[in-house]
Structure 1
Amino acid sequence: MQIAISPDERRVRLLEGRAYFDVVHSQRPFIVETRGGETRDLGTRFVVEDAGGQTHVSLIEGEISVQAQARSAPVSLLPGETVGYDRNGTLSRITPSRGDPGDWTQGRLVFRDTRLAEVAEALSRYAPRPIVPAQAPEIQNRRVTGTFLIRDKSNFASALCEALDLRLVESPDGVDLLVAI
């Protein structure tokens, strides 16, 4: 993360990862820049996540505008809305499949009817070993609804297995593999 404060603006460059912002109102705009665009705010709470060339911006409170690449028109968000954009500047509204975007700051991860592949990727950020569903589409596409407490990270894989009727295989290369029974 890089931070630049000037008389005209407050700018953060998020190089990778996820950040939560609770911005104090000011006449100087607060701007979060990622590889594919920027989010502009005057005083609100929001989350920006840059992972794998895809950026997601979720508004918790207030109002923000998101612009994918300088050539596109900015899109305004209302609380509860999420947009995503890639490095090419393609921007789209997203129906969140997770709970409140700031849940992780409260020590929990919440999922609502979310693909197992997406859940495993999110949980792997906190788990002691990466969690990987078997490549079969019928496993990757199983749906998960539930709340995971980050402090219980050693139980993520076994909880998924129990809930989805899967078996956990601890591979020698340090991965928890979820396979069909």
Structure 2
Amino acid sequence: MDNEREQLRQQAVDIFLDLEERPDGSAEQEAREAFLARGDAERSAYASVARTWAAAHPAPRHRRRGVPAVLVLAVALLAGVLLGPEALLWHRSDYSTNASAARHFTATSGDLLYLDASSAIDEQFDANRRMLELLEGAAYFETVQDTRPFLVEADGLTARAIGTAFVVERSNGVSVAVAKGQVEATRDGQRFMLSAGEKIHIFPDGRVVRTDIAPATIAAWRGNQAITKNTPLSDLAAALDRRFSGRIVITDSSLAAARVSGVFSLADPIATLRLAAGLHGGAVTAAPFLAVVSPDGSLFDFQPPD
């Protein structure tokens, strides 16, 4: 059922945006009418998209001093809130997931791939190597015996498996954590040898942080959990973001850096986000396709149009 709703939502987004680009286009108008005529579920999905777009583009009479909220919402929509990684990357990927859940796949080589929600991988195997590119999100890999090297690329990093189970994640840079065996990671001429229980995170500015991590907690999202230990709230929000059909934005840098520890459920990302943010005095305002974490929840102080 969730997959059906997600597909309907994506169809509604595509039709709505086509009509926004070409409001006088007869083909676009006909596509909308045909979609709406299919039933109540389609009309509800389209109305939800229209409401979100209207909230991001309110008429002047509705604008008050809450202009930043409008800007955040508009930027979020344009940055891919409506489209999401599944719409932007599915045409490139061989394996992908939507926001509803993580899934496991078996590559053509027999290697196990476990993708977190809202993740995508492109397979580039040939006679000499098993190469996968992580386009979005996070993925856990368990390799099989094969004479060809097993390589994962993500944001300029290449991770080479050495009899391994490991995870690669793209979030505020790129990270590799090893559950079994060893991984050789290279990026921009730097080389890192990681063993079970070790993790590196390379931030967008090139800064590298190497930490120890309990192997049992690696890729806890496979069990629909996030296990954190003195972890920035922004990292937990990134894990929750992949389970949310939209985007999560933290407006305050101090709140984003606040440390959280515990075992959190990914089943209800907004409820978990409210719990974790509330520990540090933060509040969450949720709307279709967007959830905003702020110190007092006051970011949305405009009145959306009727």
Structure-1-length-normalised TM-score: 0.79
Over the matched positions of the two proteins, sequence identity in percent amounts to 24
Structure richer in helix, relative to its length: 2
Is 1:101 aligned to residue 218 of structure 2? yes
Q: Is the 8 A contact 1:83 1:91 kept in 2?
A: no
Name the counterpart of 1:158. Answer: 274
Quick check: 1:44–1:62 contact (8 Å CA) kept in 2? yes
Counterparts of 1:173 and 1:5 in 2: how far apart (Å)?
35
Over residues 12-69 of structure 1, what are the superposed CA-to-partner deviations in whole Å (9 max), with x where a residue is unaligned?
12223211101112222101122312111132110111235x2111111111111113
- Describe the shift of the 1:133–1:33 C-alpha distance in structure 2 as closer, same or farther (beyond 3 A): closer
In the alignment of these two chains, the number of paired residues is: 176
Q: Secondary structure at the match of 2:243?
A: coil
Gaps of 5+ in 2: 1-120, 298-306
Are 1:169 and 1:176, in contact at CA under 8 Å, matched by a contact in 2?
A: yes
Q: Is the 8 A contact 1:67 1:75 kept in 2?
A: yes
For 2:140, the aligned partner's letter is Y
1:141 is displaced (CA, Å) by 3.0
Matched, 1:61 2:61: no
**Retained in 2: the 8 A contact 1:169–1:179?**
no
Using a 3 Å threshold, how does the CA distance of structure 1 residues 61 and 6 change in structure 2: closer, same or farther? same
Task: Give 1 or 2: higher strand fraction.
Answer: 1
Q: Distance in 2 between matches of 1:135 and 1:87?
A: 19
| Native 8 Å contact 1:97 1:112 kept in 2 | no
Question: Does the 8 A contact of 1:129 with 1:176 survive in 2?
Answer: no
- Quote how far apart the aligned CAs of 1:79 are: 0.7
Q: Residue 239 of structure 2: SS of its match in structure 1?
A: helix
**RMSD across aligned positions (CA):** 3.0
Structure 1 position 180, deviation (Å): 4.0
Residues 97, 131 of structure 1: alpha-carbon distance in 2 compared, 3 angstrom cutoff:
farther
Report the secondary structure of 1:5's partner residue: coil
- In structure 2, the residue matched to 1:111 is 228
CA contact (8 A) 1:97 1:113 kept: no
**Structure 2 residue corresponding to 1:9, chosen from 117, 123, 129:** 129
Q: What is the match of residue 152 of structure 2?
A: 32
Q: Which residue of 2 aligns with 1:46?
A: 166
Contact 2:199 2:213 in 1 (8 A): no
Could you say which residue in structure 1 is the equivalent of 2:257?
141
1:93 is displaced (CA, Å) by 3.9
The amino acid of 2:156's aligned partner reads G
Match for 1:42: what amino acid?
I
Aligned residue for 1:24, secondary structure, equals coil
State which of 173, 193, 197 in structure 2 corresponds to 1:80: 197
Secondary structure of the corresponding residue to residue 140 of structure 1? helix
